[in-house]
Amino acid sequence: MTPGVLGDVGLVLAVFFSVVGLVAALFAWFLRDARYVRVARRSALLAFLGTLVAFGALEWALLTDDFSILYTARNHTSASPTWVKFATLWAALEGSILLWALLQTLYTWLAGRRMRDYWTSPVALGTLFVIQLFFLVNVLFVINPFTPVPNPPADGPGPNPLLQNHWMMAVHPILMYLGFVGLSVPFAYAIAAMVTRRYQTWVAETKWWLIFAWGFLTAAIFAGGWWSYEVLGWGGYWAWDPVENASFIPWLLATAFVHTAMVQERRGLFRSWNFALVTLAFAATVFGTFLTRSGVIESVHAFAGGPVGPIFLGFLLAILTVGFALLGRVSAEVRDVGSVSIWSREGLLLSGALVFVVMAFVVILGTLFPLLVEAFNGAKVSVGAPFFNQLFVPLGYAMLVLMALGPVLPWRRAHSETLRVVVWMTIALVLGTAVGLAVGWTLWVSLTVGLFLFNLVALGWLVWNPIARRSRALGGARSGISALAWSRRRYGGYLVHFAAALAALAIAFSQSYRLDVQKTLEIGESWRVAGRTITVHALRAVEEPHRYSVIADVEVSGLGTLHPRLNYYRTSRTPFASPAVAYTLGKDYYLVLQAFDQKDARWVTLRLVVTPLVLWLWVSAVLMVIGTAMILWPASRRSQSAARAGEVGV
Amino acid sequence: MRRGLLALALVLGLAAAQTVGNEPPPDLSPQVFEIAKKLRCPVCRGESAAESNAGVTEEMRRQIAEMLAEGKSEDEIIQYFVDRYTEWILYEPPKRGLGLVVWLAPVIGLGLFGLGLYSYLKTTARRAKELEGVSDEELARVEAELEEGEAT
């Protein structure tokens, strides 16, 4: 048995059991026989195990330096450290689609286990089987990583050096795929709801999966930002690069859907729109893969280069066709009834969703516009970060206003008590902005400070009010604080909102007050800059098995010694800079070794980037993940009943 | 998702951080980076001339620094690059001609999506009103008939 054979066997088994599962789901649906649902569920487990075997086989080949299959021969080297060998599985196209297939089969199995409704579950399971078959068939027949190599090389080129430069490579792609693939579950529930004409309840049934996927997408986007900050050496965390945009579009649409789903759950409104949103959010994950894997971004003419572009484009069109064809029938049948005041929670939730949809529209537009112009007109246009930044400023402000007001206002209609809170919030907004302007910050930064306080007052009231009310009712602050326990989910949501406001603050400051400067220093020379003294103490070289590094020891006064380095990999002529960052609560000091004296090692050229408040972006990411976990964590039976009892009063 | 970008970066030799020969690169003031941020890197994607480490952008930053030292204004420097590369070099699309489309589209998008939401809410509110109206009349009629029935 070789890894190549084992991998193919695993994939064949996975495809076989996916087909069995799909057929069983179809039988269950057409024969109206629930026993077949059980068959489908078991096949889902077997298909997952088959894919796991294939995944294990590829890891086996990587960890044992077996170069007899295509994937390792092209993307692996025996010189890599063990963790890089492990993560090389998703360092190139074939392996990452295999990882995607693995996670898809895992989700199908787990989602199947939770399906209780024998009417909708055949359709939902069937949809998930179709999706996983798409990936499995592709891995098996089109881009098979286990294709044998006639003359196995003694060693391969190894993965892209930029990927070996940071451990985040082992984490970020998995988070991203967990988020992408997770959106397939709400999509499958939506298809089932449309087919079985049960238009209302699917949103509540699928909410847990939606927020689960959303949490991973959020974590992945922030992790990607931090990775880029730590590795790419320009001191930024977000460049509006097409690859980043491709991951941002599903997040924006999923965020819109999280909010409109609440409106449907509570008021039975927006039902057809929610089908459209979830279809678009899931389609956006495939669109992202198409965009980044087909080569279409580099040039519209690269599209025909590989088989992956047309295949993913076909899959994308199939998803949209099925989703919107069913939606055509739904919109003829669904008659939402109910008046919505803009000055109510549902009014603001819908406005917030509108903001996120427009944001998604802007990102799609800015990413595709240069391609469309080039394809139809032959002209070349650049749509870069300044475009996105300028448009996201007003949209971001709208988001900050709505996300503070939404949770404060009650459903249906505002009453006078909430109006008083809004007055206090507005006072905080005006004061914050005024103080910001007085300090000398720009208008935009001052406004963000004001809006941050606007959110803070709202959240403070939301947290404090129920505690105070319960304390009054039950007599004693302790029982009031125990109120926190029974509405953990709500507080999870508030925490996510707080983190978003904090992130907005961090983004405003770091985008507005960034300092870039480059200087050549002799060894031992000191440089006064940005309120610090920077001294270069030494320049040294370090030899490692897979790379050769030149490291500068640079002291930043008050912050210790940093070690920016240049890494030389065997496969690349040019070195890769590894920046060094001194993180502080205020400003980050970010050093890149740009060049050094190769003859006498007498000078180094350093690039210094000083950016305020970046650290808080990573803090807000952690808070968002904690908040999401608070929402997702299953409630204990006792607090569930307590929550129900508590809900009545609120 | 970043891998695609990184792979491309490699192909284009974007990571050429080290200059050829043994001359130290020029010192660059913050102003150089401010200007470079407004220009795109001609050989990469998703990066401005301030961020990229490609050889071309190192040369661009050097030129910006030289022109600043000669006392040229920011507009003159940007014009110099536009003359060399056409307007494509501007990282922000110009707000006229073809570039205007991409600036106006978000406003139009906001208008259309907003209008869609507005008309949807109008429809649901009208339906709610219709339902209420019918039920009021029906209720009155039924009550009247019931009273009549009781009277007889």
**Which pLDDT does position B151 carry in this prediction?**
64
For the whole prediction, is pTM greater than 0.80?
Answer: yes
What pLDDT was estimated at residue A40? 96
**What whole-number distance in Å separates Cα of residue A97 and Cα of residue A145?**
10
Sole residue written with tokens 């259309």: B112
* pLDDT at residue A290, rounded to an integer: 86
Q: Where are the domains of chain A?
A: 1-159, 167-334+342-410, 411-513+621-649, 515-614
Please name the member of B28, B93, B127 whose beta carbon is closest to the beta carbon of A517. B28
Q: What is the CA radius of gyration of chain B?
A: 32
B 116-145 residues with CB below 8 A of A?
Answer: 117, 120-121, 123-125, 127-129, 131
Closest CA–CA distance from residue B69 to any residue of chain A (Å) = 15
Strand partners, A593: A606
Q: Which residue ranges of chain A lie beneath pLDDT 70?
A: 295, 297-306, 477, 479-486, 635-650
pLDDT of residue A650: 31
A22 Cβ neighbours under 8 A, 6+ residues apart: A40, A126, A129, A130, A133
Q: What is the pLDDT of residues A477-499, one digit of tens each?
A: 676 666 666 678 889 999 999 99
Give the residue, A100 or B8, on which the prediction is more confident: A100
B110 interface with A at CB cutoff 8 Å: yes
Measured between CA atoms, how close is A384 to chain B, in angstroms?
Answer: 5
CA B21 to chain CA mean position, Å: 40
Q: In this structure, are residues A291 and A313 in contact, taking their beta carbons and an 8 Å threshold?
A: no
**What is the side-by-side order of every strand in the sheet holding A515-522?**
A515-522, A603-612, A587-596, A580-582
For the cut 60, the answer to whether the pLDDT of residue B10 exceeds it is no
Note whether A123 and A196 are within 8 A (CB).
Answer: yes
Which pLDDT score is estimated for A291?
84
What distance in Å separates residue A441's CA from the closest CA in chain B?
A: 18
- Average pLDDT, integer, range B98-114: 94
The percentage of residues in chain B with a pLDDT greater than 70, rounded to a whole number, is 80
Per-residue pLDDT, A300? 53
How many whole angstroms separate alpha carbon A332 and alpha carbon A95? 43
A-chain residues near B10 (CB < 8 A): 160-162, 572
HEC letters along B53-118:
CCHHHHHHHHHHHHHHHCCCCHHHHHHHHHHHHCHHHECCCCCCCHHHHHHHHHHHHHHHHHHHHH
pLDDT in the model for residue A298: 61
> What pLDDT was estimated at residue B15?
36
pLDDT at A379: 83
Minimal Cβ distance to A297: which of B45, B103, B129? B45
